Structure formats: structure tokens, C-alpha cells
Structure 1
């Protein structure tokens, strides 16, 4: 048996955290594209799956695609999905964009709907283990560190849980993944700047979580 791919392992992790199986309608989005859709179908077996993607589905795909943004989709299909799976992208942009994105997710979910997500926190390194966004969050917030890439909101794991709750999405289970610990020499050099953060926050590069819409089953 061949080893599971990263996206397959991610879908299985969401299942172990309590993501529901066999729901009627699921929405999926993330940089993994069709691979994420297939992994979710295998691990969670939704009856119908929609992938947010600008292109038509590949041949023989068992899911449909929709080119809309989350905000646009929420305006025309509120309460349409029992499960939303976010493989990435929630953290892109500033705080107002993040809040709008979470509000759209809550609007799209049914009253007992569930969000399964992977979120890159401010402690996740960039390409080639670049920790500038962690060390200089004010510059990251201004978009001056990304070299043309979409800027990531420099939010801690604790900040994300608060934002989810404020949007009406209550984390039911979460798993912090230390994508890469801050090298010791950088920690010493910038110790004064980093002193305000809990050590766990500094090593939680990604959050894998399952959140339920307020009023849903515990």
C-alpha cells in the first residue's frame, strides 16, 4: 500500500478531529484544488461536493466546481452546506478580509454546519524557512515582506480561535502543528520582541481544526 499523500493525511486528520461523514452537501476550497476534493470524498464521503475553483472539474470527477468567491456564494446560497473544508487561504489578507471571509463561511453553513480548516498562523515560516513575518508582523501586515505573494495576516493560534468564535464558529477540536520551530539564534536575537508570546504560540505554525456553527450539536 502506497503511503498517504499530504492532502490525504490532512483529510484523515480532520476526520479524527470530528469532521462529520456522509453529510448531504459539502463545499471545499484551498490551494490543493481537485486533490483536496478527492481526499475529502474518500475520507468524509459527502453526498454532494462543490469545489470553489475557476476551472471546470477534471474528466470523470465526482464533484462540481464553482468559480464564485466565498462572499459572492454566501449572498446567493446562504445555509447551503453541511460541511465546509478549507485547505488554506483563510489567512490571506488583512484582519478585515479575514473577518469577512469567516462571516461568509458562517453564512454558508447550515444551522448545525461544520467547518474543517487548516490555517497558517503567524508562526508558520514562508518559503525557505523565512521567519520574517513572525519577527516583523508590522511589515508583514503592510505587505512589505511577501515579494509579490499574497500577504498572510500575522495572527496567532489564540487569535484565530477568538476570531472564529466572534464569527459564530465554535472550535470543537484543534491540533497545532509546528511547521518549523524558530531557530535558536533568531529567538535570542529577537527575544525582546517575542517576549510577549507564549512559547507554544511560537511553535504552532498551523492549526488543523473542526468548528461548529453556534447552535449546532456539541
Structure 2
């Protein structure tokens, strides 16, 4: 059972998400919050698998709440999906840096929301190629590429190839197809890269791929 916490200051939106998620046999909404502070408190007591987090909330916004939650070792198994109007601004970039697993627009299709919850729970990719490109473009506009990106000496040449494709937003099956390997092998590569680079999830790998120069804003698939 995937345990979900909904954090949004719009009660009507929370009610809609709750009805949709609770109708699934493998999902359960265990809590709701309308403020950042309450979200942090509930996350600490409920230990949800997934938090649907509005990035702008009163009494401590979603970004601050995400930062507090994701730096808590007791919540290492909690994944955060940012709910946004899809304005990729500095707050969205910071959300990825602190460890948010990905993004959903608030008017997303129901099946896409359900898929996203299952995807992040499994540790797979949530960022689509278009989202990854927009994220990198936003990062480039907000802050130039660091003079020195993340140290990649720990990963192999093949792992660099895989990291670049993760940076483009490809999932394991798409990486496997591109590199002529099995999806299981692709998943293994991604897991090893995350371990070696101390990345929490694939969203952080996208940032690392950009900062290391493996991918550029505007990269095409």
C-alpha cells in the first residue's frame, strides 16, 4: 500500500486528489495539510511514501517544507512530488536541488497523477524529456553553469553515458533502447550512479548531468 500525504492550501484540490487516490487498491491518503509547517509535522508522524506538495503555501512554503523533510534521515523513504502551475522558476530549481522527485501540473490528467505516484515510489524516472529540458533551461537562466561541476571520476564511461541520458529525461526502458542493453541493466547502472554520486533520486541526477556538462539546455532526444 502506497501511503500518501497531500499538501496544498486549496481544500477543493485536496478533496479531488484524495478521492482519486483512495479509489486505487494500492494507494491510501494518510493525511492532508494546508500549510508548510503542518506538512513537516505530519510527515514526521505519518512517514508517508509520497507527498504531493504545493510549492507555495502559507506558514512555511512547500520549498522550505521539502528541505526540512528531505534532510531528515528518518524520512529517507519519503518521496516528494511538487505540484505546480508549471512556472519553472528559481523555486522549482531549488526544489530539485533539495531532493524533490519531480513535478506535476495541478490540472494533470488523473491517470498521469496515479502513474507518477507509482513511479516515484519505485524510484524510477518522473521527469519527462520536455520537463528535463525546461528544468535545465531554467537553471541556465537563473545561474550559469558552475565553473566546476560534480566530480564524476567515480563513475565509469558507460555510467557517464547513462547519466547523460537520465539528464535528458529518459526512463530505464528508453535508456536501454538507446544503448542496446536490457532495462534491468539500465536500472542497475542508474542505481550505481546514484550511490556513487550520493544522489537521492533521478531528479538530482538531472541537475548533476547539467552541472557536469554532460547535457546542455536544449538537448534533443
Return the TM-score normalized by structure 1: 0.35
Higher RCO, 1 vs 2 (CA within 8 Å, ≥6 residues apart): 1
Which is richer in strand? 1
Which is richer in helix? 2
